[in-house]
Amino acid sequence: MKCVVGMSGGVDSSTAAFLMKERGYDVVGCTLKLFNNEKAEASIRDAQSVAKFLKIQIEVLDCVQDFQQYVIDYFIDYYKNGKTPSPCVICNEFIKFRYLNEFRKKHEADLLVTGHYAKIKRGGSFSELHQGASSKRDQSYFLYAVDQSILYYTEFPLGNHESKSVTRDIAKKAGIQVAEKPDSQDICFILNNDYISFIKHELKGTFEFKSGNIVDTNGKTLGQHNGIINYTIGQRKGLGLSGGPFFVYRINAERNEIIVSNKEKIQAKKIYLTNVKFINSPFEGECKVKIRSNGEKIRARLFYDSDRKCWCVDLLEKEYGAAQGQHCVFFDGDRILGGGEIN
């Protein structure tokens, strides 16, 4: 039996490769080069070093051009238009798993393996995506858009680990040199979590995030903002307004305005979705949803709105700050049904 392991140079993917080798698989490592900087080169060197230690073959695939188009350009465009992007969802759908699956087929491997904290359950000709055992580390939210034809051949050996410390302990005992390597930041292509500087550098002066008005829902000017890129839906701190408290209710990129309101106004009750994907068959009815990756699952009713010709979610519990561009993911227990982009 052969498997391909996506190796990023971190402890999770390195441990996944070790565990699959322990299970008797012929393991082939695959590292995706996503962008050009020293951080990317260092990660590639770490992955190659671990592969050498584990005595497995490894190859590096250059994905820089596609990653720029599908992830970085999208990321910048969404911020320019007052939306909140979800680059990990997009990368998993269009880059990471597609490249790894093509590599798997090229090497005639039985499985595609990554270090994600999630679970795959197979039945007949289809598979199900489930949450990982660790509620803190679970990454299933970011995987809902991966195609069923790829998920069927995917394995997540860390899915039953109840904490990151379990993974690190395994890596330490195995002698893997990246066992103590710090966790990667949320957005892998941005240094020091400074996405504003990154975007401005990428735009190279072709677009300027100008200051503008902060207004209430009646259009009354309350103050000034320093560029819509600095604000997110539901934000309370850093608005510089007297009175209140105020929360960011909407971002109007066309008018270069930040609209604020009270907390009750920003409560999400009905969410319209675009680019909806179901892992297996379409579902309508009551389920639970997350409207942000670190949010709680809340009760909701999912249905297709024939008048608007789109999928819609009625939230049955209080939730605040549904941001356009983020993703709403549907759950049946710990099984992921699918999801879509908040529109």
Two tokens, residue 100? 């790894």
Q: Are strands 118-123 and 126-131 parallel, antiparallel or unpaired?
A: antiparallel
Asked if residues 315 and 300 have their Cβ atoms less than 8 Å apart, the reply is yes
Check if 91 is active-site.
Answer: yes
Q: Which amino acid, 134?
A: S
Residues β-bridged to residue 30: 6, 59
Provide the 3-class DSSP secondary structure of residue 261: strand
Give residues with Cβ within 8 angstroms of 260, minimum separation 6.
214, 215, 216, 222, 239, 241, 244, 246, 247, 248, 249
Asked if residues 227 and 211 have their Cβ atoms less than 8 Å apart, the reply is yes
Phi, psi values for residue 107, rounded to 5° = -95, 5
Instruction: Pick the catalytic residue from 63, 88, 188, 287.
Output: 188
Instruction: Pick the catalytic residue from 3, 30, 88, 91.
Output: 91
Read out DSSP for 270-305? EEEEEEEEESSS---EEEEEESSTTSPPEEEEEEEE
First vs last C-alpha separation in the chain: 44
Give long-range contacts, CB 8 A cutoff, 24+ apart: 135-140: 136/163, 137/161, 137/163, 137/164, 140/329, 140/336
The set of catalytic residues is 91, 188
